[in-house]
Amino acid sequence: MSKRALITGITGQDGSYLAEFLLARDYEVHGLVRRIALHDPERHLSRLVHIRDRLVLHAGSLESSASLHQVVDLVRPDECYHLAAHSFVNTSFEDDLPTLGADINGTHYLLAALNERAPACRFYFAGTSEMFGHADESPQRETSRFLPRSTYGINKLAGYHLTRNYRERFGMHASSGVLYNHESPRRGHEFVTRRIAAGVAQILAGRQERLALGNLDARRDWGHARDYVRAMWLMLQQETPDDYVVATGESHTVREFAQLAFAVAGLDHREHVFVDPELCRRAEDQPLVGDPRKARERLGWHHQVGFAQLVREMVTAECDALGLTLPLATPAAAQVVEQGEE
């Protein structure tokens, strides 16, 4: 009999890749979505169009304990992937505070419902490198100190501790992944990688000349979302639950991303990118870079998509969407790609 998985946040980037991944392994895939998503699928289910008829979507709310009990009763999942959360690293701390309680309660309600109605269900919590925030060591590993600096990071850290408590107190098979930035053509438009990839396509199409960015020296440990959902699944296949850092272990600057993205389209980023002070965030902390050694040793996980391949895939997808053909490997692109390849 095929296993049943329940995914919260199935409409997002990670949710959609995870759903594909599980369907390919013969899972029966259920998703918890807001009622509005079912009423306005074009807008809310755009990442699931190609697999929509193979999924079972349930309208429900993480803010309602009763609704979670109902869905858990109905689905009786073998595995639950809790990916849903508000994410506003960009906005101000004060503005985000109202979302804090909602997300923490949602995680707690879900864990409680599973523990009560489906205690054998294996649980994955989507933690984030933002939990390290003002990290005092680099790269960060599972034992590094958590010093979150955003509402998002604090919220995720609470979820991480809730997950650990359900594991330790109730013996639930509950694990957290501490995931570093992971991107793809399905990334939200507000993130810098998607902004750059989309900007390159717009410029190539002659629809705009220039692209405004913030801090070009900011660094991130960027991986591909498709690789990261595989790590989530691997955590739930282990005999014992645990927490894992999931990262590539290498970081690149926003400038490097832009340089490569423009080069893929045969363009020179220096002719198009400018820094808009409005987009620059206040001084950023020590760059977050993860040490994925534990995931490699225990899960056998390693990222497969390197930086250059990620950039190429994102730019190509944006160009395809506009019906543009990328120039065949230009000398500039070849040179940058060589530098970017691990």
Distance in Å, CB of 10 to ligand GDP, minimum:
20
166 is catalytic: no
Cβ-contact 8, 107 below 8 angstroms: no
- 79-82 and 4-8: which strand pairing? parallel
| Closer residue to ligand GDP, CB minimum distance, 80 or 218 | 218
Residue 63's Cβ-count burial label (10 Å; 0-12, 13-18, 19+) is middle
Alpha-carbon distance of 110 to 252, in angstroms, equals: 36
- What is the CA 263 to chain-centroid distance, rounded? 26
| Closer residue to ligand GDP, CB minimum distance, 21 or 191 | 191
| Closer residue to ligand GDP, CB minimum distance, 113 or 218 | 218
Report the interface residues with ligand GDP, using CB under 6 A.
Answer: 89, 181, 190-193, 195, 213-215, 218, 220, 254, 279, 281, 284
Alpha-carbon distance of 306 to 183, in angstroms, equals: 11
> Active-site residue among 11, 107, 128, 248?
128
Distance in Å, CB of 203 to ligand GDP, minimum:
15
List, in sequence order, every residue forming a beta bridge with 123; answer none if it has no partner: 80, 174
91 is catalytic: no
* 277: number of Cβ within 10 Å: 8
| Closer residue to ligand GDP, CB minimum distance, 78 or 130 | 130
Distance in Å, CB of 275 to ligand GDP, minimum:
8
| Closer residue to ligand GDP, CB minimum distance, 63 or 284 | 284
> Active-site residue among 81, 152, 160, 166?
152
Distance in Å, CB of 248 to ligand GDP, minimum:
14
| Contacts of the segment 152-155: beta carbons below 8 A, 24+ positions apart | 152/85, 152/86, 152/87, 152/88, 152/89, 152/96, 152/128, 153/89, 153/128, 154/100, 155/85, 155/86, 155/99, 155/100, 155/103, 155/104
302 — phi, psi (to 5°)? -150, 140
Closest CA to 102 of 43, 69, 167, 151: 151
| Closer residue to ligand GDP, CB minimum distance, 115 or 140 | 140
Cβ-contact 105, 261 below 8 angstroms: no
Q: Which residues contact 285 (CB under 8 A, 6 or more apart)?
A: 133, 134, 135, 149
Distance in Å, CB of 124 to ligand GDP, minimum:
20
Distance in Å, CB of 195 to ligand GDP, minimum:
5
330 is catalytic: no
> Active-site residue among 28, 79, 130, 256?
130
Alpha-carbon distance of 325 to 338, in angstroms, equals: 22
Catalytic residues: 128, 130, 152
